[in-house]
Amino acid sequence: MSDSPPSLFPPATPTSTGMLAVDDLHTIYWEEVGNPQGIPVLFLHGGPGAGISPQHRRFFDPRHYRVILFDQRGAGKSLPLGETRNNTTQLLIEDIEKLRVLFNVQQWLVFGGSWGSTLALAYGQAHPEACLGFILRGIFLCTALEIDWFMDGAQWFHPEIHEEFAAAIPFEERDNLLQAYYRRIMDPDPEVYWPAVRAWSRFEGRRVFLLPQPDEPSCDTVDLGLGRLEAHYMANLGFFEEDQLLRDVDRIAHLPVVIVQGRYDVICPPFTAWRLHKRWPGSKVAMVPDAGHAAMEAGISRELVNATEQFRRLGRFD
């Protein structure tokens, strides 16, 4: 292979998969991909609740990386799907440590996008000694301002999408769409929560790419995991103090990081990535000029692979 990396590596099959009971309620799905003797890397998916996919394995050269991926509590193949009880950022961090012990990893590279960047920062700040560095995409610090933007800033760029999303809520409740949707999504009646989680998932999915994409068929696993867990975490401000992740960057500022950000990301706008960059001495930013939020947009996937390849060659980012 030349030193110019492909946009993505070929599809890879897990070397092992399994389920790990992390408490009396939750069991999480995990998979291991690549070289068992390679550089350990932890992949953190977005959402919360989006789950992992086979495409996520393709950011890493399987000859040189040992990739650990998992579905976070309530997401993907983890059980119970969409469960919000015993589901906080602090408990997700404990789950990551359980996986690190399970795989006998001393230190690993931490890779996360969108909510995965949030969780990567939170995990790193809790366990800096376990981290080699970070590759972060579409930065989300879970502040009140960012959550307000996610819910209502959409109307500045996608007024028709926001109007459709709000139309499902009675007029008198539209001053707080997050709480209105949260009540419906958490309702025990399937006749109430299914339309709400599907509307939520569609609202996000139609804004992810810079250029419009064909509508994909609805997927109950994604809709329930994404809708319920995003509403749960946003309603609780991610279980953080305000701006906690930026405040505590000093705990990991000695470690290398590459930040990959779409210039026209309307889910997680570039201002947040820039705030993190300015707070983190030595951080590198790859601002992709022709991309939105999605990891699979060509420019973003190319920069993510560039980052994994650079870390593989150098053990750092130059």
Q: Which residues are catalytic?
A: 114, 265, 293
Q: Calculate the alpha carbon distances from 178 to 34, 98, 173, 182, 236 in Å.
A: 40, 32, 10, 6, 11
| CA–CA gap between residue 263 and residue 268 (Å, rounded) | 10
Residue 202 DSSP SS3: helix
Distance between CA atoms of residues 281 and 256, nearest Å: 9
**Sign (positive/negative) of CA torsion 125, 204, 220, 68?**
negative
H-run or E-run covering 33: strand 27-34
Q: Return the DSSP state at 149.
A: I
Which amino acid is present at 50?
Answer: A
Which residue in 316, 313, 308 sits closest to 43, CA to CA? Answer: 308
Could you give the CA distance from residue 136 to residue 177 in angstroms, rounded to a whole number?
29
